[in-house]
Amino acid sequence: MKDRITEVLLQEIDALTKEEIEGLLEVPKKADMGDYAFPCFRLAKAYRKAPNLISQEITEKIKEKNYDFIEKIENVGGYINVFLDKEGYAKSLMEKICQDNYGSSDIGKGKTVCIDYSSPNVAKNFHVGHLRTTIIGNSLYKIFDKLGYHVERINHLGDWGTQFGKLIVAYKKWGSKEEVEEKGIEELMKIYVKFHEEAEKDPSLDDQAREWFVKMEQGDEEALSIWQWFKDISLVEYKRIYKLLGIEFDHYTGESFYRDKTQAVVDTLNEHHLLVESDGAYIVPLDEYNMAPCLITKKDGSSIYATRDLAALFYRKDTYHFDKCLYVTGLEQKLHFAQVFKVIELLGYDWYKDLDHIPYGLVSMEGGKLSTRSGNVIYAEEILHESISKIYEIINEKNPDLPDKEKVSRIVGVGAIIFNDLYNQRIKDVIFNWDKILNFDGETGPYVQYTYARCASVFRKAGNVDIDSVKDIDYKVLTEESTMALIKDIERFPAVIQDAANKYEPFIISRFVMSVAQHFNKFYHDCQINVDDENVKMARLKVVRAAMNTLKDGLDLLGISCPEQM
């Protein structure tokens, strides 16, 4: 409400900012001085008038506007005293939040955002770290989409590089077609590890691997067909995870997509005299900017990760004409992106300002750090399935007759993981604690989903009234504190989405849906909904509908669905 009154005053006062007005707005100690009081003394200088004259003028202007949430407004000795009309306020709030697609906007209309996320490394397992970029990236896509932006969802697969030379050598020496076909990535990882063990004893293996990668870069048919096979096998596993998460991409343009586009990068850098030779390799020195140099080509002339990222940027700018290009990866790639963005700046492109790296923290379980190299790897798929089966057990115990138990467990099990992942600032580490994640009463996904299902059950009990088509609802009856608190909370939705987009922070959405769920449960506890008084019943049902829509839309922005019953 304070915000509302600030807005009202802002309309009449051009000498102060919104923040200044908000800062000055007081809550008087005595009720006869209104719900809010605004002192006009600070305005005397700007308007060259006595404060009580100013307050009188502003009071008159506000009176003329007849705001339905202001019962009375008075001018007393330089103060503007505002008395709220709770009934009118409830009505104006409800009319606002019951609009279609409340929360969405078109501020992004005509603008394109590229989001580069997920991007696992072919022939390597999809671990919980990749799960984070996938979940965060998908949520950012939904948020920008809601604001009217056009989004290009890009999976920049790690499907090129010397590691494939090693894999080919390993496969030729120790692999079998049947094993790879049967076990997939697991088998590829196994022979990859073996390569490293053997290469320690026999360094010539590394030379062979380099040769095979050079062959790949030169388009050698045999090399490319083995590589393509490894890639296809890996994609089958990744796509299984995406399906489980309900996530899609517009482009699977991985690093290999740019293999014929890296020479152009080298040429452009040369034209701008940015390339310097260093021990046979070529680099862009960045010491002036306190950064290690950006490596562009290796001694053997092959391209690297950064070269392909530069090529990808030129391609994306030319193809999608993006207004923003975002990269969701772990914090450890901070330097890499700083280097790539700096090179774009040095090339004189002002759109380097539109590039952002969106880092996130680590995932850990019971205190132990997880990393790909230590062998202590947690597979994303395993975690998701474990969550689903644990939820299944809980449902089986609490609500054994629930229809579609499997489907509900999938929605809730996956939702629990996503919600936990997005409940704190990205940069904070995520800690897996099953009891916490799956608690139906805690600050969890299942709790919010359960609240949604509770709303749905209210409607079932009310005989499925089609509340959306009921006209002339008397919102004035909605004055209880917990009802007001709930609808005031829901009102924040559009601002919350905007804030989440500006900061690239899905946790702002998850905190919001949690707050709405908590407010709803308080309201549900305090106010009976299926009462005899039709007037009250319809108004309250409308509140339930607004909460229900908001929970659903809010969870959707996180990539979580809602079961109607659980």
Interacting residues toward ligand ARG by CB under 6 A: 116, 119-121, 156, 158, 309, 312, 327, 329
Q: Where are the alpha helices (DSSP H) in 13-120?
A: 18-24, 43-47, 51-65, 86-97
Shortest distance (Å) from residue 216 CB to ligand ARG: 17
Structure tokens at 336: 């890499």
Shortest distance (Å) from residue 473 CB to ligand ARG: 50
In the complex with ligand ARG, the residue whose CB is nearer, 372 or 482, is 372
Coil, helix or strand for 123? coil
In the complex with ligand ARG, the residue whose CB is nearer, 89 or 164, is 164
- Classify residue 48 as left (phi > 0), alpha (psi -120 to 50) or beta: left
The amino acid at 167: L
In the complex with ligand ARG, the residue whose CB is nearer, 78 or 120, is 120
Nearest-angstrom CA–CA distance, 336 and 312: 14
Shortest distance (Å) from residue 309 CB to ligand ARG: 5
In the complex with ligand ARG, the residue whose CB is nearer, 221 or 318, is 318
Structure tokens at 358: 């969106």
Nearest-angstrom CA–CA distance, 506 and 508: 5
Shortest distance (Å) from residue 244 CB to ligand ARG: 19
Residue 348 is given by DSSP the state T
In the complex with ligand ARG, the residue whose CB is nearer, 306 or 538, is 306
In the complex with ligand ARG, the residue whose CB is nearer, 207 or 248, is 248
Nearest-angstrom CA–CA distance, 375 and 381: 16
Q: Where are the alpha helices (DSSP H) in 175-203?
A: 177-183, 185-201
Structure tokens at 310: 């530069």
Contact yes or no for 452/544 (Cβ under 8 A): no
Phi, psi of 15 (to 5 degrees): -85, -10
Shortest distance (Å) from residue 83 CB to ligand ARG: 57
Shortest distance (Å) from residue 308 CB to ligand ARG: 8
Whose CB is nearest to ligand ARG?
158
Shortest distance (Å) from residue 44 CB to ligand ARG: 57
In the complex with ligand ARG, the residue whose CB is nearer, 254 or 506, is 254
Rounded (5°) CA angle 417-505-415: 20
